[in-house]
Amino acid sequence: MALTAKFTKQLGNFHLRVDLTAENGAPLALLGASGSGKSLTLRCIAGVLRPDSGRIVLDNTVLFDSEKHIDLPPQRRGVGFLFQQYALFPHMTVRQNIAAGAHALKGADRERRVSELLERFRLSSLADSAPAQLSGGEQQRTALARMLAASPRVILLDEPLSALDSFLRWRLELELQEMLAGFDGPAIWVSHDRGEAYRSCHTVCVMENGASSPVRSMKETLADPLTVGAARLFGCKNFAPVRPGPASGLVEVPAWGLALRAAAPWRETVTTLGIPSASLHPAKAGEENAFPCEAVRVTEDVAAMIVLLRPLAAAAEAPLLRMELDKSLWAAVPDQKRLTVAVRPEEILLLEG
């Protein structure tokens, strides 16, 4: 049982092409930069936006099928949608908002359901407040309670933490994870934050310029993002054009003047090499994948040092390499102007696009 969505939609110059499956009980992260089409995808699944063509199926129910002219209205899709800004009804109290979600129930059943949700989301004391009187976290809890009141079969979360300040985020992230753990249908969590997505979801679908990539497991995608866009979303900042080297397992990066050993097998479609900032580390000359560099700039970050490096063999206009390392490790480097760094072959990313 799952949610399967395969559709296209043209909006002005923007071409949305989505092909994804979210399995029951395993939240899917829809990860992409802003403007990549994540929210549009959710809107098409929820039925508030109509795709041009394609098919959206939930378990055995066809929600949308352009060929069979099926287009269920959002009211009949059973899709719970948590909006980025929560979209609470401003003229209703917390209790009325939740009751609006539970409209399918009548009389005492409805009241019981609303009280249950008020309690579960610790909103009982705020039941008669207007949404504008609530903090961001309370607003989110109200929106969650309202969404669950309608007993959805699918849950869609549209950047659920982006409206909150960082202090609240962590707690609400835990709350959302807990809510999803107790939900046995498919769920999609839209995010542009790899950490949030990694912590909360089992699988990931990366979106770039309106196109979705195949759904993969989170761990697999982190270890081998396959595309430059995905690598960027997972925090990689060092990219340069790459070509196969003279021997198998070797690759050449002309911009940095490097020949490196890469554990990942070469693919014809690879164009770019990526090195995550945290994968670079100080090393001794002669170690595997070690090369001498000049430290161009050193910036102290909250928990780490950020060092910009120029490989000695680099071309004049080549991009600098960004290395992030523990402050104590940096303090132990004997010559902080000129040093040798290395990257392990299994941490080198061979990327397309």
Nearer of residues 73 and 182 to other proteins, judged by Cβ: 73
| Binding test (CB under 8 A) with other proteins, winner from 2, 33, 87, 333 | 87
| Binding test (CB under 8 A) with other proteins, winner from 91, 301, 302, 335 | 91
Considering CB under 8 A, how many residues would be counted as binding other proteins? 31
| Binding test (CB under 8 A) with other proteins, winner from 1, 35, 103, 337 | 103
| Binding test (CB under 8 A) with other proteins, winner from 73, 182, 246, 286 | 73
- How far apart CA 169 and CA 162 sit, in angstroms, is 8
Is 312 a binding residue for other proteins by CB under 8 A? The answer is no
Is 327 a binding residue for other proteins by CB under 8 A? The answer is no
Beta carbon of residue 21, minimum distance to other proteins (angstroms, whole number): 21
- How far apart CA 206 and CA 214 sit, in angstroms, is 8
Radius of gyration of the chain (CA): 24
Is 74 a binding residue for other proteins by CB under 8 A? The answer is yes
Burial of 259 (0-12, 13-18, 19+ CB in 10 A): middle
Nearer of residues 106 and 284 to other proteins, judged by Cβ: 106
Contacts 24+ apart (CB under 8 A), 116-120: 117/145, 117/148, 117/149, 118/94, 118/145, 120/145
Beta carbon of residue 74, minimum distance to other proteins (angstroms, whole number): 4
- How far apart CA 241 and CA 352 sit, in angstroms, is 10
| Binding test (CB under 8 A) with other proteins, winner from 9, 38, 77, 194 | 77
- How far apart CA 131 and CA 163 sit, in angstroms, is 14
Cα–Cα separations (whole angstroms), residue 166 to 78, 162, 169: 32, 9, 5
Residues 45-64 within binding reach of other proteins (CB under 8 A): 46-48
Nearer of residues 154 and 164 to other proteins, judged by Cβ: 154
Residues 349, 225: contact at Cβ < 8 Å?
yes
Is 10 a binding residue for other proteins by CB under 8 A? The answer is no
Residues at the interface with other proteins (CB under 8 A): 43, 46-48, 73-77, 79-81, 83, 85, 87, 89-91, 100-101, 103-104, 130-133, 146-147, 149-150, 152
